[in-house]
């Protein structure tokens, strides 16, 4: 397979070969800039497609076909890929899944990535179920921040969304992360019409009480059953209206990174911060600086991309670091102006969120 072209998601990789060590950047090497001038500095790495929940906005309820372990990138392969993109200006890493804490020995990967020259921050997104047992190890390895999914504080609504029990374990994980001293802890809540409305104010009150940042995320068309419909989107503006009715004015936070997906606000009464991520009603594609690599080594330039670039074939086929760089550059160069959710020609990706990496 030509490693510079999109691959089919199920393509088999070439035979394993020798790994090539990372090297210092060549003089005059350009950053990862696409045809619209967007510079890519953030990489999201999925480490597994397995999960211990079955949230309907992400996974099918049953009969899930996970990738065999041999198809997933090893820690050494992931670290080599990060060394290559770090010399091109990528300096923030986020580990995702599936549920990344289901990947054995994850703190060791964090330790390897923190040591890569040029990497300023390694973060993690988790559903929190396994966090209580792993928080200290992750912090000791150098984890700088963590996002914990918490869609509801009602056990019934939690079960309706996740299709499993586990709310108390998530709460235990949140407090364990605080005790472990992880510097930045953020809660993520996916908002879905006719499900989430009554959870908005309790979630915000919980975050305010415990001095935690909370972000609400609009429901996106990445569910495994392809049941997403536009009327199911509970918009960021509606969420803001409910929050202001309950807590008073929300004031925009000044000086935030323009490439971040959230619009951040702080409560006028000093009760902390809230972020709204509105990919459907207010797309932020124009400032996107993110790349993704799936658990089995497919590079993607957008969460909604329908094309992938096969880094695993290069990693296991004796390819050089320069070939990996060429593959990443080809991926970035092919990035579209936006995800096009509202365009008539929009086609959702064939893979669901858990297969891509959240």
pLDDT on residue 224: 61
Residues 172, 131: Cα–Cα separation, whole Å: 8
Distance from the first to the final alpha carbon of the chain: 27
Vertex 121, ends 205 and 357: CA angle to 5°? 70
* pLDDT tens for each residue of 207-232: 999 999 999 999 887 666 677 677 88
Domains located in the chain, CATH noted:
38-356 (3.20.20.70)
Residue 234 neighbours by CB under 8 Å, 6+ apart: 191, 192, 193, 196, 197, 218, 219
Tell me if the pTM is above 0.75: yes
User: What is the per-residue pLDDT for 193?
Assistant: 94
In this prediction, residue 2 carries a pLDDT of 39
User: What's the token pair of residue 18?
Assistant: 């020798």
> Considering only CA atoms, which of 52, 59, 72, 231 is closest in space to residue 126?
52
Low-confidence ranges of the chain (pLDDT < 70): 1-30, 63, 222-225, 228, 340, 342-344, 346
Q: What is the pLDDT of residue 60?
A: 87
- Cis amide leading into 98 (omega within 30): yes
- pLDDT for res 66: 92
Separation of alpha carbons 33 and 42, rounded Å: 12
Contacts 24+ apart (CB under 8 A), 177-181: 177/131, 177/135, 177/146, 177/148, 178/210, 179/135, 180/135, 180/136, 180/138, 180/139, 181/139
Question: What is the model's pLDDT at position 3?
Answer: 41
pLDDT value at position 223? 60
pLDDT of residue 286: 83
Output the pLDDT for position 17. 32
């Amino acid at each position: 397979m030509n490693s510079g072209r999109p691959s089919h998601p199920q393509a088999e990789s070439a035979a394993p070969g020798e790994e090539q060590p990372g090297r210092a950047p060549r003089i005059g090497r350009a950053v990862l800039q696409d045809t619209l001038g967007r510079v890519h500095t953030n990489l999201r790495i999925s480490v597994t497609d397995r999960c211990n929940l079955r949230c309907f906005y992400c996974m099918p309820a049953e009969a899930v076909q996970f990738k065999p372990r041999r198809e997933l990138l090893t820690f050494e392969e992931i670290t080599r890929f990060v060394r290559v993109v770090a010399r091109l200006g990528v300096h923030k890493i986020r580990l995702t899944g599936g549920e990344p804490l289901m990947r054995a020995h994850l703190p060791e990967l964090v330790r390897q990535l923190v040591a890569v020259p040029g990497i300023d921050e390694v973060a993690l997104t988790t559903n929190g179920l396994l966090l209580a047992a792993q928080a200290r190890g992750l912090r000791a390895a150098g984890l700088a921040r963590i996002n914990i999914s918490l869609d509801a504080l009602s056990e019934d609504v939690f079960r309706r969304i996740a299709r499993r029990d586990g709310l108390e374990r998530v709460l235990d994980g949140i407090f364990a992360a605080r005790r472990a001293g992880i510097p930045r802890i953020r809660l993520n809540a996916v908002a879905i019409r006719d499900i989430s409305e009554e959870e908005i104010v309790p979630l915000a009150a919980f975050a305010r009480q415990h001095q935690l940042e909370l972000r609400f995320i609009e429901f996106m068309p990445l569910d495994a059953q392809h049941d997403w419909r536009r009327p199911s989107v509970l918009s960021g503006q509606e969420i803001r209206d409910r929050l202001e009715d309950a807590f008073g004015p929300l004031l925009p936070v000044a000086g935030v990174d323009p490439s971040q997906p959230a619009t951040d606000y702080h409560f006028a009464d000093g009760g902390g911060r809230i972020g709204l991520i509105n990919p459907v009603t207010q797309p932020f594609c124009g400032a996107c600086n993110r790349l993704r690599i799936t658990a089995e080594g497919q590079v993607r330039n957008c969460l909604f991309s329908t094309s992938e670039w096969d880094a695993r074939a290069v990693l296991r086929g004796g390819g050089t670091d320069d070939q990996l760089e060429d593959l990443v550059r080809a991926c970035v160069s092919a990035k579209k102006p936006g995800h096009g959710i509202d365009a008539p020609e929009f086609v959702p990706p064939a893979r669901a969120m858990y297969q891509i990496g959240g």
